Amino acid sequence: MGTTVLGACDPIASISRVCREFGAWLHVDGSWGGPHALFGDDPAFSVHNIHIDSFVVNPHKLLGVPLQCSFLIMRQGLNVMRRALGLGATYLFHDEQVCGESDVPCDVGDATLGCGRRPDAIKFWLMWRYYGTQYFTNRVAQARNTSLRLAELVRTRTSLLGRWVLVTEPASTCVCFWFVPCALNDKRSEWGGATRRMCTHINDGGSMLLDYATVDVFDGTNTCTLPEFFRIPINNPSVSSATLNDVLNAIESAAAELYP
C-alpha cells in the first residue's frame, strides 16, 4: 500500500478474497501509504470491510509524527506475535501478570521483535490528542492535492530547453517524471544518465536536495527497467505552488548548464 517508488496501491480487496479462500495470511505494508487508508478518502486505499491479518503503518512519514514512529497492528492481537516470537524469558516476563480480567500478559515485551524499544505510541497519541483527527485528515488531503498540482505542472509545462514527461499519474503523494533536454534528441537510453547528472548538479548547488529512482514495470508480456527519473514525494504541508515551481526551475537551469 503506497509502493516505495511510485506510491501505487495493490488491489487489496481482491487479494483478501484470494487469501480467505486459501487460508493465507494477509499482511499489508502501509508504511508509507497507510495514512491514506486511515485518514484519506481515496477508495483505492480503503481497507473498510476488508479482512486483513496484519497491518504496518509509519506515522513518522506522511503524518509528520517525530521520528521514529512505527506500528504493527494485528487482527488477533499480540498473542499471535507472542506465540511466534516469544522466548519466555522467565527472568523478565511473568505470565501471571495479566491485564484486568483478560488472560493477556501486561508486559508486551515478549511479543515484539525487540525486547525493549522506545514508546512510539505516546508520540502519536500526544499529537492526535492535541491536533485531533481532522488535522491528519487535512494533512493527507493537502499532500494529495499538492502532488496532483505538481503532476499538472509537469504535464502542462513547456520549455525551450527540453520536454517534461510524467512517468505515470500519481496514485498517492509521490510524483515521478523526467525532464528530457533537447540535446538528447529524445534518445530514451540516455534519459536515466541525464536525470542523474541534473540531480547531482542541483544537489551540489546547495539550494535544494532532489532525488531520483527507477522501477521495474510489466507491460503485459515482459518486465523492463525504466530509466532513472525524478521522484518527488509530497509530505510537508508548507510546500506551496512557489516551491513546486522552484523545483522545476532548478531542473531546467541544471539542464541549461549541462546540455547547452
- pLDDT tens-digit map of 248-260: 999 999 999 999 9
The answer for residues whose C-beta is within 8 angstroms of residue 8's C-beta and 6 or more apart is: 2, 171, 172
- The pLDDT value recorded for residue 244 is 97
Residue 109 has pLDDT above 80, yes or no: no
The one-letter amino acid at 23 = G
Residue 102 has pLDDT above 70, yes or no: no
State the first-to-last Cα distance of the chain, in angstroms, to the nearest integer: 41
- The pLDDT value recorded for residue 81 is 78
Are the C-beta atoms of residues 2 and 36 closer than 8 Å to each other? yes
Phi, psi of 179 (to 5 degrees): -120, 120
Cis peptide before 142 (omega within 30 of 0): no
pTM: 0.86
What is the residue-wise DSSP string for 98-167?
BSTTSSSBS--GGGSSSSS---HHHHHHHHHHHH-HHHHHHHHHHHHHHHHHHHHHHHH---SSEEEEES
| Residues 4-43: tens digit of each pLDDT | 899 889 899 999 999 999 999 999 999 988 999 999 888 8
Distance CA 111, CA 87 (A): 9
- The four Cα atoms 217, 185, 154, 211 give a dihedral, to 10 degrees, of 60
Distance CA 49, CA 158 (A): 45
Are the C-beta atoms of residues 60 and 69 closer than 8 Å to each other? yes
| Residues 195-238: tens digit of each pLDDT | 999 999 999 999 999 999 999 988 788 898 999 999 999 999 99
What DSSP state is assigned to residue 237? T
- The pLDDT value recorded for residue 232 is 96
- The pLDDT value recorded for residue 229 is 97
CA-based nearest residue to 7, from 124, 198, 150: 150
Q: What is the gyration radius of the CA atoms in the chain, in angstroms?
A: 23
